[in-house]
Amino acid sequence: MLLEPGPLSIVVDGRRVDRDIIDRGIAHAALLQRELAWIVRVPTRTQDGLLAPIAEQWRAALPADAAQAPITVLRSAAYGAWLAQQPAGALLGLAPDRRGGLWRWVAPNAEEQHLTACHTPLVALAAAARPLRQILFPADLTRRSAPALEATIALCRRFGSTLHLVHIFGGPPRPFDATEQTERSAQRTARALYDLDRAMLNTWAERARAAGVAVTAQYAEGEPTPQILRYVEQHDIDWLLLVSHGARDQRDILGGTTTAQLIRRTNRPVIAWRSAASPG
């Protein structure tokens, strides 16, 4: 099951010790009630004799009450194999690169590379960790997102969080399966499609209520990223939980998916993962 209990591994750049990332990682692990581990990435050509000193350098930077957390120094060439071995329930923490525009092509963002490469959920570490009181799940209302919804409901139930389901009418095409496409094709008017989406959002909200989670369901119209960011500020959202289906049109390819844009632009912590059927 997505987001079941497991470790939180914070991936850091081994070329320098970053005390800000250390503080962020410890704070986020404490809020999520996760065991903490450190993955120190170093260039592939790093000599064997340097691996242990790099690990000790990072351990020396940890506060005393966190100094026993496991530290693994990984060459970049071995990182993909390590990711593939992560157990169910594992989370991977990153400080988002937040590069936009052409910079994404020159130096791809680590968070986007992760969502393309694997299904292990990603924690995008915010500058300040926040309690899990108000959680936003942007609802695209597709069957492909249903497992992510169930995982979000379970997380809200565990932490006593209020769940905000927000559906945006507009934006890039949604990843409907064949059955959903048939159902939507049978609708003769835009109003009928609108009513279909409203009914599905209400169904999703009822799932949360049936699990004992406080929930609010809202609608907006326009481009998803600015609408969601506006909602985050207006409702003092603490965390965003996002599911990525990969790039689905030219806008996603050039500017990043909605998930990637939200990670880049929000100042809130984010948990994001790639949907099971997503190509990246």
- Say which CATH number the domain at 164 has: 3.40.50.620
Asked if residue 80 is part of any domain, the answer here is yes
Asked if residue 158 is part of any domain, the answer here is yes
Q: Is the pLDDT of residue 216 over 80?
A: yes
**In this structure, what is the dihedral angle of CA atoms 253, 255, 259, 264, given to the nearest 10 degrees?**
140
Dihedral over Cα of 125, 126, 127, 130: its sign: negative
Q: Write the CB contacts of 156 (distance below 8 Å, at least 6 apart in sequence).
A: 132, 135, 162, 163, 208, 213, 214
Adjacent-strand bridge partners of 122: 92, 272
DSSP state of 164: E
Query: Highest mean pLDDT range out of 82-96, 122-136, 228-242?
Result: 228-242
Cα dist from 38 to 46, 117, 179, 180, whole Å:
18, 20, 43, 42
| pLDDT, tens digit, 9 for 90 and up, residues 250-278 | 565 555 688 888 999 999 999 998 886 64
The pLDDT value recorded for residue 36 is 95
Q: What is the average pLDDT value for the chain, to the nearest integer? A: 89
Q: Collapsing DSSP states into helix, strand and coil, what is residue 4?
A: coil
Per DSSP, helices labelled H in the chain are 19-32, 48-61, 76-84, 103-106, 110-117, 146-159, 178-185, 190-210, 224-234, 250-255, 258-265
Buried-state track 231-260, b at ≥16 Cβ within 10 A, e below 16: bbeeeebbbbbbbbbbbbeeebeebbbbbb
Tell whether 139 and 255 lie within a shared domain: yes
Least Cα distance to 211 among 159, 141, 176 occurs for 159
Tell whether 148 and 243 lie within a shared domain: yes
The pLDDT value recorded for residue 246 is 62
Tell whether 49 and 160 lie within a shared domain: no
Asked if residue 242 is part of any domain, the answer here is yes
The pLDDT value recorded for residue 23 is 94
| pLDDT, tens digit, 9 for 90 and up, residues 22-73 | 999 999 999 999 999 999 999 999 999 999 999 999 999 999 989 899 999 9
- How much is the average pLDDT of 64-86? 91
DSSP state of 145: G
| Confidence category of residue 245, pLDDT binned at 50, 70, 90 | confident
Q: Let me know how long the chain is.
A: 280
The pLDDT value recorded for residue 164 is 98
Q: Is the pLDDT of residue 280 over 50?
A: no
The pLDDT value recorded for residue 208 is 97
The pLDDT value recorded for residue 250 is 59
Asked if residue 271 is part of any domain, the answer here is no
**What total number of domains does the chain contain?**
2
The pLDDT value recorded for residue 139 is 94
The pLDDT value recorded for residue 252 is 54
Range of the structural domain that residue 158 is part of: 134-262
> Of the given ranges (38-42, 158-162, 221-225, 228-232), which has the lowest mean pLDDT?
221-225
- How much is the average pLDDT of 205-216? 98
Answer whether 144's CB lies under 8 Å from 279's CB: no
Tell whether 144 and 89 lie within a shared domain: no
| pLDDT, tens digit, 9 for 90 and up, residues 130-177 | 999 999 999 999 988 999 999 999 999 999 999 999 999 877 778 888
